[in-house]
Every structure is written in structure tokens, then in C-alpha cells.
Chain A
Amino acid sequence: RKEVEQDPGPFNVPEGATVAFNCTYSNSASQSFFWYRQDCRKEPKLLMSVYSSGNEDGRFTAQLNRASQYISLLIRDSKLSDSATYLCVVNRGGNEKLTFGTGTRLTIIP
């Protein structure tokens, strides 16, 4: 079983729609959680950290359920520029290595 599992998609969503991604992780010792965004042939870029209480950044909302070892990302009012691969990432803490999911590919359709 992979340490971080994501639905690879692709998700093809009309502009303006709401889209949700889910992710599960297997290591209960994981302490830090992130969503990264990766455009084609570019490096991953930090989208947002994920906190236990849930957090929001503009159109993006992230949730964490430690009991179920489940992370989610919600994108509201999707834009064409949101088209990318979204990577679910966990860290066991202490600024150590990041463990990535395979990514979920999102395409926003005009």
C-alpha cells in the first residue's frame, strides 16, 4: 500500500464549478500536511498547509481528519488557471522528508 494515496483523475470540470480532491495517508505518525500544485513540466509549488481545524485561502479550503487519516482540498468557483496536478503531501515532522501522493490531474474546461 502506498503511504499517500490519491485518485489520479483526470478530473475535467467546467469553469466556475466546485471540485473536491481527497487523499489518505497510512503513517499515523505524520505531523504536517500540505497540498502542492504542479504545472506540466514545472516544479511543485506549495498551495497551502493543512491544519487540524481546517483552513481556507480564498477559493481553496483544506480539511484534515487525523482519526481517519484523510485530507481534502475543495476549490470553489474554479478558474482556467486552476488546471494543474494537485499533490497531497505529508511529513512525519521535524522538517524531514516529504512523502507525496501521485497527484490528481485537474483540467478546467471553458
Chain B
Amino acid sequence: DTGVSQDPRHKITKRGQNVTFRCDPISEHNRLYWYRQTLGQGPEFLTYFQNEAQLEKSRLLSDRFSAERPKGSFSTLEIQRTEQGDSAMYLCASSHSGGAPAQYFGPGTRLTVL
């Protein structure tokens, strides 16, 4: 399968714990995006990378959130000191900066904070 992949697919954690999610984009795509989706809402933008550079961060991305893409391939999203309000689906998408602007999504990581 050459689509976007995410790991883990589900994560249950206790409030205050740290969690890390991984995203592997489509191999020829140099742009990688993170979104968050809660029930009944559309996905909301968090941040994106072009190659290894983080080009934009949403105000939704508090200082407890950090994202990296160290080699311009896979990316990680870490949430420190999780809160119940962090419970959501975390979606990763990718695209190519020189191609069509449509983005292709991975299956998401569903986070539940108890």
C-alpha cells in the first residue's frame, strides 16, 4: 500500500501522560500536514512541513504539542501532559508542492484521554 500510513491507529492514555504519533506520507510527497478532528466537526489544521521545515503552526497547537519531520520523510506529533480535551482523531495528510493542491489523508490515530 503506497498511501499515507499512521501509527498507532488507536491510543488510550491517562491524563498527564505523553503520547507520540507517527505519520509516513506518500513517498514522493514533500508536504506533510497534521489535522485534528473531533466528533461532528470537520478536520482542523494543526501544522505542516515542506521537507523538514515546519512552515506554519495553528494557534490550536499549544506549547504541549510538538511536531517534527527530521529527515523530510516521516513525521511525529507529540502531545505532552495530555488533557481530556486532547481526545480526538489526529489525521496526517500529504501532497506535493509542485503538483495539484489536493491532500491525501492517512487513516488517523484516535486518541482517548481518560
Please report A residues at the B interface, Cβ cutoff 8 Å.
4, 8, 31-32, 34, 41-46, 49, 87, 89, 91, 93-103
Given contacts A97-B56, A100-B42, contact A43 B106 (CB under 8 A): yes
B 85-109 binary contact with A (CB < 8 Å = 1; else 0): 0000001010111011111111110
Number of chain B interface residues as a range = 20 to 34
Of all chain B residues, which has the CB nearest A87? B42
Contact present for A97 and B102 (CB under 8 Å): no
A93 contact set on B, CB distance < 8 A: 101
Contact stretch, chosen from B12-20, B43-51, B66-74, B76-84: B43-51
Q: How far is the CA of A42 from the CA of B106 in the complex (A)?
A: 9
Asked whether, in the complex, the Cβ of A49 is within 8 Å of the Cβ of B107, the reply is no
| Distance between B31 CB and nearest chain A CB, rounded to angstroms | 6
B interface residues (Cβ-Cβ under 8 A, vs A):
31, 33, 35, 40-45, 48, 56, 58, 91, 93, 95-97, 99-108, 110
Return A30 CB to nearest CB of chain B, in Å. 11
A95 in contact with B101 (CB, 8 Å)? yes
A41 to chain B, nearest CB (A): 8
A100:B101 contact, CB within 8 angstroms? no
In the complex, A31 Cα to B48 Cα: how many Å? 18
9 residue pairs bridging A and B, Cβ less than 8 Å apart: A34-B102, A42-B107, A43-B105, A44-B43, A46-B104, A89-B42, A93-B101, A99-B45, A102-B41
A75 CB, nearest partner CB in chain B, Å? 19
Check if A97 sits within 8 Å of B33, measured CB to CB: yes
